[in-house]
Amino acid sequence: MNEEQIKQVILEILARIAPDEDLSDLKDEVPFRDQLDLDSMDFLDIVMELRKLFRIQIPEEDYEHLASMESTVKYLAPLLKNVESPA
């Protein structure tokens, strides 16, 4: 997957977890929690969705890398470089 595909998947996950949020103005460099009404359970749901979709392990000590779109894509890109985009 390329970075744009990863970003699309993350947007789809966010849309499912926070369906009332407007994701059209999401800024890549600003933490999700500063832009969206997400609590810690929502964040864990995002992590679980990523793990389920891509069958990857994300250690708890790496959660800080999933704070914003930019950092999440940067973290996931090397892990998903040989993975097909989910249908």
CATH, residue 72 = 1.10.1200.10
Question: Distance between CA 62 and CA 4 in Å, rounded?
Answer: 21
Q: What is the pLDDT of residue 21?
A: 92
For residues 41-57, give the mean pLDDT: 93
For residues 62-66, give the mean pLDDT: 95
Predicted confidence band of residue 87 (pLDDT cuts 50, 70, 90): low
87 domain residue, yes or no: no
The whole domain housing 42 covers 3-79
Give 23-77 as a DSSP string.
-TT--TTSBHHHHS---HHHHHHHHHHHHHHH-----GGGGGGGSBHHHHHHHHH
Cβ atoms within 10 Å of 17's Cβ, excluding its own: 19
Confidence check: pLDDT of 86 > 80: no
- 67, two tokens: 């704070």
Percent of the chain with pLDDT over 70: 98
Confidence check: pLDDT of 61 > 70: yes
